[in-house]
Amino acid sequence: MPTGSTGALAPELRRRLALAKRVTVIAMAVSGTLSAAKLIVGWIAHSTAVFADGLENAGDLFGSALVLYALYIASNPPDSDHPYGHGRSETIAGLAVGVLLGASGLAICFESVRRLHVRTELPHLFAIWPMIASIVVKTGLSVGKFRFGRRLGSAALTADAWHDGIEIVSGVVALLALGLTLYDPEHFSAADHLGGFAVGLIVIFTALHVVRDTSDELMDAMPSQRRIGRIRDVALSATGVKGVEKVYARKTGLQYHVELHLEVDPHMTVQDSHELAKRTRFLIREKLDWVADVVVHVEPFHQQGPTQ
């Protein structure tokens, strides 16, 4: 059976990609607004923590732009050079977001430590407002991206959701640090800078998580046992299938490509076994919308007799 075919994308995949792009565009607009507000207020209010969080938001905006570009590439149908489609572009974008996160975390840590040794003005009270707004808005964005990312099977959108989720944590840390400095500047004058450093560390640890997950996909890690079991169950439900010897699957963007070893009656003709393999292939694609295509290998079924 062929591993894939050229032509238009399946309607379900087109729908998923369109939804993922809409979510990403909304996220970019929100992140851009929050980043500008934090950078301006952080600079005017002399708050390292708020300014650092604004830089992190700017990185989020750039990361979302990468995700959007990758989703547009993934929208291209399979061709002769890319028979599995272009879905891996969004996995690569997820990895790029992770690397970007790590770099921005290191930069934030470095700048926060540098400011510990530089005499700066105390931050102003109005610096707290963009932080509170950011925590509320980013909570909604993170929940939405996680929901759609997992539903659509998008590594890039899920990585972006982790980015937003960690911004909630970093925002809370920055807000607490700023609050301590404002509450007792004599004893907690360095809290704002240390809060910025803590934000950087949180970002770095999140980056490691994102890089690990997307690297697994690029290395063709198998899906969960639950999904393998679903493929096996659907294959066994096809009339004429005697057994399933092996199931392999690898993710190529939003969907999986499956390799299946079917066991059939050894006395079946080549033509009949071919028709059975084709029916099984289309049945799996019909029942499991997260499967892009299936390669079916047909093998003779050997009934094992009772042990002596």
pLDDT attached to residue 128? 78
Length reported for the chain: 308
| Contact between 73 and 89 (Cβ < 8 Å) | yes
Report the SS3 class of residue 266: coil
Q: What is the mean pLDDT of residues 265-281?
A: 93
Q: pLDDT band at 276, cuts 50/70/90?
A: very high
Taking the CA atoms of 77, 79, 81 and 84 in sequence, report the sign of the dihedral they define: positive
Assess whether 52 and 112 both reside in one domain.
Answer: yes
- The 10 Å CB-count burial string (b at 16+, else e) for 9-25 is bbeebeebbebbbebbe
pLDDT at residue 232 tops 90: yes
Q: Match 């907690």 to its residue by tokens.
A: 188
Assess whether 204 and 279 both reside in one domain.
Answer: no
Q: pLDDT band at 308, cuts 50/70/90?
A: very low
- Beta bridge pairs of residue 252: 255
Tens of pLDDT, residue by residue over 163-206, are 677 777 777 877 777 777 777 776 676 776 677 787 778 778 87
Q: pLDDT band at 8, cuts 50/70/90?
A: low
Q: Which residue range(s) make up the domain with 264?
A: 225-300
Assess whether 163 and 190 both reside in one domain.
Answer: yes
Count of the separate structural domains present in the chain: 2
- The residue from 194, 218, 242 where one domain ends is 218
Assess whether 26 and 155 both reside in one domain.
Answer: yes
Assess whether 274 and 131 both reside in one domain.
Answer: no
Assess whether 132 and 280 both reside in one domain.
Answer: no
Query: Does 3 map to a domain?
Result: no
Distance CA(193)–CA(197), nearest Å, equals 6
pLDDT attached to residue 242? 92
Tokens of 197: 């450093």
pLDDT attached to residue 97? 80
Instruction: Residue 275: name the closest of 238, 230, 237 by CA.
Output: 238
- The residue from 175, 192, 218 where one domain ends is 218
Assess whether 174 and 35 both reside in one domain.
Answer: yes
Query: Does 172 map to a domain?
Result: yes
- The residue from 176, 199, 218 where one domain ends is 218
Assess whether 22 and 113 both reside in one domain.
Answer: yes
DSSP string, 260-278: EEEEE-TTS-HHHHHHHHH
Percent residues over pLDDT 70 in the chain: 86
